[in-house]
Amino acid sequence: MSVDFYEALGQFNSYIVGLEEYDPERVLYLAVPKGIYSTFFQKPGIQLIVKRNNLRFIVYNHQSKAIEEWIK
């Protein structure tokens, strides 16, 4: 999972740069399944990365694909 996270973080940061230039009003969110958010993203080291990168999340139910929570 951590390799996927670091890859997603790199993509997220690249998109942020583009949005700042071309659509600065748009807010970018990282979509993650609820199970991953409630385990992996609660680790102290990951929380520090989340805070420093100002990550926002859409947490969704993996089975139904329904959005369960928006986290700023």
41 in Cβ contact with 57 (< 8 Å): yes
State the CATH architecture for 2-71.
3-Layer(aba) Sandwich (3.40)
Render pLDDT for 24-60 as a digit per residue (tens, 0 to 9). Answer: 999 999 999 999 999 999 999 999 999 999 999 999 9
Q: What pTM did the predictor assign? A: 0.85
- 30: nearest Cα among 3, 53, 64, 52: 53
